[in-house]
Amino acid sequence: MPPREGIYGLLAEFNTPGELVRATEEAHQAGYRRMECYTPYPVEEAAVALRFHKTRVPLVCLLGGLLGGTTAFLMETWISVWSYPLNIAGRPLFSWPAFIIPAYEWTILFAGLSAAYGMLALNGLPQLYHPLFNAPNFRDGASTDKFFLCLEAADPRFSIIESRAFLERFAPVSVVEVEL
Amino acid sequence: MSSAHEQHGEHGAQGHHGPQADHGPRALPASLNAPDVLLAWRRRALLVAAAFALLTLLFTSTHEGRNHIMRAYLMGYMTVFNFAGGALVLLMLQYVTGGKWGLLLRRPLEAMTRTLPLVALMVVPILVPFLGKHLYQWVLYPDAASTHNAYLNHLINQEQELTANFKRPMLNPHALVVESCIIFAVLLLFMVLLNRWSIERDADPASGTEPSYDRWRTRFENLSGPGILVYVILLTLGAIVWIKSLDVTWYSSIWGLQFLVAQGYAVLALSILSVILLSRYEPMKTLLRTTEQHDLGKLAFAFVMLNIYLCFAEFLIIWSGNIPDELPWYLNRIRGGWWYVCSLDFICHWLIPFCLLLSRDLKRNKRKMIWLTCFMIFARLVDMFWLIEPNFSDSAANLHIAGNIGMLAYITVPATVLALWSAYYMTQLMSRPLVCTNDPHLEEILEPEHAF
């Protein structure tokens, strides 16, 4: 793999979530789209400012549940009717009431697992490397008491000079270039 | 999480423009009284009650109509009892669990519990042997001699005779009156205490202070904890005596719990419907946030699940046991066209609400939740119909309308009872401010809403 060159983006550090949200909102108005907020705890307004809306986790969860329920039900049907038919108290081989509970359990199991793993997968996790950790202040502050806005270089609106000037209008603690 | 809230509050106060500019804490509306539109709604409910009562009168002229009126009345009575009693237990439940979800529901739930005197009055026709004999075999044949006579005349089978004699101490016309009186006396006592304290709590001179919050919270908790236990026991008694004893031979140990969950289902649907409809006007317009509506929707979803869980558990156990004592109850509810009603019950009660409530957007949408909660209340009626009518020996031949127009009493009578009850519920709703003020959660529901 050739060495990666250039920068990932510009990282602005703020002391309060309010400043972060304001900067994010204005960045959105200025036309930036490839950007991300990093906060030590969930800041709902930052998500609003990012226009972060929907994820596909619910869909993955639903599909997982349907898959689990169907699999269990069909498997029980196959076992009881074709693979190993047993006469249990003279009931029909296809005794669907008895199949419901395992099918239900599998629905929950598959839905739960697909929600958890689907969330990880859609988040791109596990991720062994992320350029942001090249910024020392990010390493120290992102999970304790600092609020970060990163304008990514992939954004067409991004310019190393103008974007820096734009971010500095919000009086951040610092604006650093993040290397790839 | 609390530090996060403080932070947000601070920023709202600093007056930043941006997304949270219109997200600052909102002011409590000047008037917390119920909107005047309730008067119009109540008038409409009374008109509906009158219209359906007239229709019912028409059915009294037919044989099947007379046959069905008492059964349909029992269905209507049980539905409104579920609302009033269920509201009482949900009210106590939200006192013991705490949380801001309950604050908005408190006054509507209190109003529902204050309909208990009306519901107590409504039980009277069922208690009168002259009318009750159309419902209960053990009222028609109140002693061993008449029961044996009925057996000799092939009106009942031997098992019914033996079971009726065995259960006589609990199931006889006098015990019915005593049991109903005990149930309502205790429920009314809890209702009066909870409602009186709720007003006293708001009028507390120390209102809005920590000691006042704590004192009232403890007081309500101490009453509600034992109250829930007492309620569940009384409800089990009521459900057995009023509904299950329609079939003297059958028994099921999950019966009371099933009614409890069904009450939660119905009351939650009705209270969500109430707050959403009220939120078209002040003060509920300010108070009902999408967050709380979403939470209530999730709770309703849990009840939808719990309800089918218990119903299916009962069915599965009886199906597995395969005992001639228990099976006929289900066979009567499956054979002779009842399979359609049974499927309809399952689809309306579980499948449709379950699939719809899975959606987050639907739970946050006012208009769609109005439709869904109305549908859930309708589903409760279908279920009650399925529980009541197949108890009677003529039920299998009854499931058609042609030449059996009196069957429609099952629509008109419960509609009359429900409409009357709703009118009274609205009267009660108008008698108090729509939100309790001496509660720390009030501040929370006035906080800015988090859209995500």
Model pLDDT for residues B178-197, shown as the tens digit of each residue: 999 999 999 999 999 999 99
> Same structural domain for residues A118 and A132?
no
Position A65 pLDDT exceeds 90: yes
pLDDT band at residue A2, thresholds of 50, 70 and 90? low
Measure CB to CB from residue A17 to each of B11, B315, B360 and give the nearest one: B11
Residue percentage of chain A with pLDDT more than 70: 98
How far A57 CA sits from the closest chain B CA (Å)? 12
The 10s digit of each residue's pLDDT in A17-37 is 888 999 999 999 988 888 999
Cα separation, B377 vs B371, whole angstroms: 10
Q: Is B33 helix (H, G, I), strand (E, B) or coil?
A: strand
Measure CB to CB from residue A45 to each of B14, B19, B322 and give the nearest one: B19
> Is A1 contained in some domain?
no
Cα separation, B5 vs A43, whole angstroms: 10
SS (H, E, C) chain A: CCCCCCEEEEEEEECCHHHHHHHHHHHHHCCCCCEEEECCCCCHHHHHHCCCCCCCHHHHHHHHHHHHHHHHHHHHHHHHHHHCCCCCCCCCCCCHHHHHHHHHHHHHHHHHHHHHHHHHHHCCCCCCCCHHHHCHHHHHHCCCCCEEEEEECCCCCCCHHHHHHHHHCCCCCEEEEEEC
Q: Are B332 and B390 in contact (CB under 8 A)?
A: yes
Position B59 pLDDT exceeds 70: yes
Position B16 pLDDT exceeds 50: no
> Is A134 contained in some domain?
yes
Position B373 pLDDT exceeds 60: yes
> Same structural domain for residues A67 and A32?
no
Number of domains making up chain B: 1
Position B18 pLDDT exceeds 50: no
pLDDT at B185: 96
Q: What is the CA radius of gyration of chain B?
A: 24
> Same structural domain for residues A61 and A110?
yes
Distance of CA B144 to the CA centre of its chain: 36
> Same structural domain for residues A66 and A111?
yes
> Same structural domain for residues A117 and A163?
no
Please give the structure tokens belonging to residue B85: 């009693």
> Same structural domain for residues A105 and A154?
no
Q: Are B28 and A32 in contact (CB under 8 A)?
A: no
pLDDT at B19: 43
| Chosen domain end from A122, A139, A161 | A122
Measure CB to CB from residue A49 to each of B3, B10, B19 and give the nearest one: B19
> Same structural domain for residues A62 and A88?
yes
pLDDT band at residue A4, thresholds of 50, 70 and 90? low
Average pLDDT of chain B is 87
> Same structural domain for residues A101 and A112?
yes
pLDDT at A3: 62
Q: A46: buried, middle or exposed (CB in 10 Å: 19+, 13-18, 0-12)?
A: buried
Position B3 pLDDT exceeds 70: no
> Is B155 contained in some domain?
no
Whether B16 sits inside 8 A of A22 (CB atoms) is yes
State the pTM of this model. 0.85
Q: Which residue has the tokens 């169907």?
A: A70
Measure CB to CB from residue B451 to each of A25, A48, A98 and give the nearest one: A48
> Is B438 contained in some domain?
no
B19 CB within 8 Å of a chain A CB: yes
User: Residue B314: which domain range?
Assistant: 33-136+171-430
* Count of beta carbons in the 10 Å neighbourhood of residue B305: 15
> Is A147 contained in some domain?
yes
pLDDT at B450: 60
> Is A2 contained in some domain?
no
Pairs of residues, one from chain A and one from chain B, whose beta carbons lie less than 8 Å apart: 59
* Count of beta carbons in the 10 Å neighbourhood of residue A130: 11
> Is A144 contained in some domain?
yes
Mean pLDDT over B51-73 rounds to 84
Whether B8 sits inside 8 A of A26 (CB atoms) is no
> Same structural domain for residues A151 and A62?
no
> Is B377 contained in some domain?
yes
Cα separation, A64 vs A78, whole angstroms: 21
Mean pLDDT over B368-376 rounds to 95
Smallest CA-to-CA distance from B439 within B160, B118, B220, B128 is with B220
Residue type, A114: S
User: Residue A98: which domain range?
Assistant: 57-122
**Which is more confidently placed, B203 or B83?**
B83
Closest chain A residue by Cα to residue B319: A97
pLDDT band at residue B235, thresholds of 50, 70 and 90? very high
> Same structural domain for residues A61 and A118?
yes
> Is A27 contained in some domain?
yes
Confidence check on the interface: ipTM exceeds 0.90, yes or no: no
Alpha-helix residue ranges (DSSP H) falling in B205-280: 210-238, 255-278
> Is B142 contained in some domain?
no
Residue percentage of chain B with pLDDT more than 90: 52
| Chosen domain end from A104, A122, A140 | A122
Distance of CA B297 to the CA centre of its chain: 16
pLDDT band at residue B23, thresholds of 50, 70 and 90? low
| Chosen domain end from A122, A139, A157 | A122
> Same structural domain for residues A28 and A73?
no
Q: How many residues does chain A have?
A: 180
Closest chain A residue by Cα to residue B313: A101
The 10s digit of each residue's pLDDT in B85-144 is 999 999 999 999 988 888 889 999 999 999 999 999 999 999 988 888 888 989 889 888
Whether A17 sits inside 8 A of B7 (CB atoms) is yes
The 10s digit of each residue's pLDDT in B277-311 is 999 888 888 888 888 899 999 999 999 999 999 99
Please give the structure tokens belonging to residue A96: 């669907």
> Is A68 contained in some domain?
yes
Cα separation, A13 vs A11, whole angstroms: 7
Position B399 pLDDT exceeds 80: no
Number of domains making up chain A: 2
Measure CB to CB from residue A45 to each of B20, B316, B319 and give the nearest one: B20
How far A21 CA sits from the closest chain B CA (Å)? 8
Q: Is B433 helix (H, G, I), strand (E, B) or coil?
A: strand
Whether B7 sits inside 8 A of A16 (CB atoms) is yes
Q: Please give the C-alpha separations between residue A104 and each of A96, A98, B114, B220, B345, in angstroms, as whole numbers.
A: 12, 11, 40, 38, 20
Mean pLDDT over B220-236 rounds to 94
pLDDT at B8: 40
Residues of A contacting chain B (CB within 8 angstroms) = 16-18, 21-22, 25-26, 41-45, 47-49, 52, 58, 62, 89, 91, 97-98, 100-101
